[in-house]
Amino acid sequence: MAIVYFYEKPGCANNTRQKKLLEAAGHQVVALNILTEPWQEDRLRRFFGELAVRDWFNYSAPPLKYGEIDPDELSEQQALALMLENPLLIRRPLMQVGDSVMAGFDQQAVDNWIGLTETEANQDIESCPRRDATTRCGHD
């Protein structure tokens, strides 16, 4: 099985569930704090591959949730600059296995990439379960 470097927001319930899925599949998870990682623009950019800029973002982060930032209006350079300034904006988790990287936790994509055990179909383990449009959440 794989050694997965897993960049998370410590305390995030979804990241905890995602790590458990990886471990249940026999992978070794090395959890790292996405908020304190010393990101460089080119290194961070690699995780997003061919994803559209809008898919680089964590939509539970307050600036996105409350319309302060519109990812559809940003260039790659602008998006990366914002993320380096405020890592809460980065879609989580970021994962690395060897030289291969991925942003987000689409179960089918992760299964195709490194393999997962059977899990509940259509289980959303990427969106924040504490997301509430009326209040700011300290969990973002």
Q: Where are the domains of the chain?
A: 3-113
Rounded to the nearest integer, the mean pLDDT of the chain is 89
According to the model, what pLDDT value does residue 72 have?
97
At 73, the amino acid letter reads: E
Question: Predicted confidence band at 117 (pLDDT cuts at 50, 70, 90)?
Answer: confident
The arithmetic mean of pLDDT across residues 25-37, rounded, is 97
**pLDDT band per the 50, 70, 90 thresholds, residue 104:** very high
Q: Which of 12, 69, 79, 103 does the annotation list as catalytic?
A: 12
- Residue spans of beta strands (DSSP E) within 42-98: 94-97
SS3 of 35, please? coil
pLDDT band for 119, please (50, 70, 90 cuts): low
- CATH fold of the domain at 3-113: Glutaredoxin (3.40.30)
Residue 8: its H or E element:
strand 3-8
Whether 31 contacts 3, CB under 8 Å? no
> Residue 127 to residues 17, 102, 122: CA-CA distances in angstroms?
12, 16, 12
Tell me the mean pLDDT in the region 43-49: 98
Q: Is 137 a catalytic residue?
A: no
Q: Is the pLDDT of residue 31 over 80?
A: yes
